[in-house]
Structure 1
Amino acid sequence: MSREEEQRVDTQRRRFLGVATAGTVAGTAVGSGALTLGGLAAAVATDAASAPRTEPVSKIHRWGMFVDASKCADGCTACVDACDQENGLNLQSEPHGSNEAKWQNQRSVWIRKVKLQDRASGHVTNLPLMCQHCEHPPCVDVCPTGASFKRADGIVMVDRHTCIGCRYCMMACPYKARSFIHEQVDQKLTRAPRGKGCVESCNLCAHRLDEGDISTACAQACADENHHAIVFGDLKDPTSPVRQAMAKQASRQIREDLQLNTGVRYAGL
């Protein structure tokens, strides 16, 4: 078959597939009686409005958090619970016959409450600790496959398709912010795919950002409890809530000595 004949056949095939697809859509709409032409147009418009981003993320933004530890209530787990629900971590189930203590140490946790005690005064401070989204992330430096990476907007993430479960990133992270999935995952959310043998951690609710929602589950839950200990926003925007909070109160990095320029800053420590 000549090149011209191949092109003609390919064109005919495309036309056939286009007609077949249109016929299938029309047949479904008419046959079910659920969609009129107007309803079909509305459905398409709705899908377009809720579609994920189509353009790449930009370095114009750098997303981060400001955490006021003095407002973090002792015993409150609203941020942890919200993170678990948002990312499907609440769907984890303890394997039959496993040791409870071992399971609690192995189950995935993206954000945890930590208590710090001043040795001199004995004062106890509560704070949420998650991935710090470093400008210079050690986890990315040591990853042999590139599965650990940093987006242009500063969010540090894990590509589960290329993660081989070596856990070098977990050893490199000075904040112990990553979890390894030891058990088979039977239930998970579409927006937060998970799988046995992979590493995962806080991604600042990137799925929300990619749909135009500038919020995180933990910050929203903290505000709903009227604590307002966690503020999220664009660190490069002077008018953003996170920058305004940082302008009013001095903040610091955890492990400033490592010079990682973290995207999460703390006050009240």
Structure 2
Amino acid sequence: MKLPALNNEAVRPAELNRRDFFKSGAAVASVTLAPGVTLMAFGGEANANADAGKRWGMLIDVNKCASDCNACVKACSVENGWKLGGNPDTDAQWIRKVDLTHKQTGREASLPMMCQHCEEPPCVDVCPTGASFKRVDGIVLVDKHICIGCRYCMMACPFKARSFVHEEVEGQEAHAPRGKGTVESCTLCVHRVDKGGIPACVESCATTGHGAMMFGDLNDPASDIAIALKNYASIGLRDDLRLNPGVRYTNL
């Protein structure tokens, strides 16, 4: 719901709160966490390498995802510097494996769960500072510099895809800034995508020979992922919410 127009411009609540936040002096130019690592890596320049004509997404074939395979989770941990094998209730987790069993048929399935990079992301709608934002190419990110750790985005996410950093942060990667007291989630390895690469999880899945994960431009009808989506039935998790997630699943 929009607030009444001010000076002939409609201003969203998040914009008002962000304006007050900056006026308060709580925001500073940059915070250095370690040599070469700054929280501003996902700040105002995040859209600089984004192409508004693209929408990056992922297609996951559940039939090819082995329940005993954790390669995608391990790859994400190594690539982005979050601790693997910690306490899932308190430690950050950008991607996790979820095992499902159909109540009536007993069919079992295993699938990777991460930020779904929604076209209409509820995490962005509820963020009071604008720290949660969506790039013009559909990738949803968190600007750690202005994240105040309120965790509204975590409550709004229907996929439980965001984590609050409780632990002390060690061994950070320059391309994946982290900060205790902030919220984080899958970035689709945006640092790789901006250089023409693919997410680490997709790469690792291909290396195992399973090939359950496909990444590409959903807007390009000639891309492998667009062709696959056209030819095979798929679903977005919680399609009833009309969020139009960028991650879709087939054979689920």
TM-score tier by shorter-chain length is 0.7 to 0.9
2:88 aligned counterpart, secondary structure: helix
Q: CA deviation at 1:54?
A: 9.5
Match of 1:48 in 2: none
Match of 1:224 in 2: 207
Match of 1:161 in 2: 145
Matched-pair identity in %: 56
Map 1:52-63 onto structure 2 (within 5 A). 55-63=48-56
1:259 correspondence with 2:242: yes
Distance 1:242 1:82 in 2: 21
1:240 correspondence with 2:223: yes
2:89 aligned counterpart, secondary structure: helix
Structure exhibiting the larger radius of gyration computed from Cα positions: 1
Distance 1:54 1:261 in 2: 21
Distance 1:107 1:55 in 2: 31
Q: In 2, are the aligned partners of 1:88 and 1:189 still within 8 Å (CA)?
A: yes
What amino acid is aligned across from residue 243 of structure 1 in structure 2?
A
Match of 1:97 in 2: none
Equivalent of 1:194, from 158, 162, 178?
178
Match of 2:60 in 1: 67
Distance 2:177 2:46 in 1: 18
What amino acid is aligned across from residue 267 of structure 1 in structure 2?
T
What amino acid is aligned across from residue 67 of structure 2 in structure 1?
D
* CA-atom RMSD in angstroms: 1.8
Which structure 2 segments of 5+ residues have no match? 1-44
Q: In 1, are the aligned partners of 2:147 and 2:182 still within 8 Å (CA)?
A: yes
Map 1:75-94 onto structure 2 (within 5 A). 75-90=68-83
Aligned structure 1 segments of 4 or more residues deviating by more than 6 angstroms: none
Q: How many residues align?
A: 208
Distance 2:157 2:134 in 1: 14
2:245 aligned counterpart, secondary structure: coil
What amino acid is aligned across from residue 216 of structure 1 in structure 2?
P
Q: CA deviation at 1:238?
A: 1.2
Distance 1:66 1:220 in 2: 13
What amino acid is aligned across from residue 66 of structure 2 in structure 1?
A
Distance 1:165 1:200 in 2: 10
Q: CA deviation at 1:212?
A: 2.5
TM-score (norm 2): 0.79
Distance 2:112 2:220 in 1: 24
Structure 1 residues 193 and 266: alpha-carbon distance in aligned structure 2, compared to 1, 3 A threshold = same
Q: In 2, are the aligned partners of 1:231 and 1:245 still within 8 Å (CA)?
A: no
Q: In 1, are the aligned partners of 2:47 and 2:136 still within 8 Å (CA)?
A: no
Match of 2:168 in 1: 184
What amino acid is aligned across from residue 69 of structure 1 in structure 2?
V
Distance 2:103 2:143 in 1: 40
Q: CA deviation at 1:55?
A: 4.4
Which structure 1 segments of 5+ residues have no match? 1-51, 95-102
Match of 2:116 in 1: 132
Distance 1:228 1:186 in 2: 32
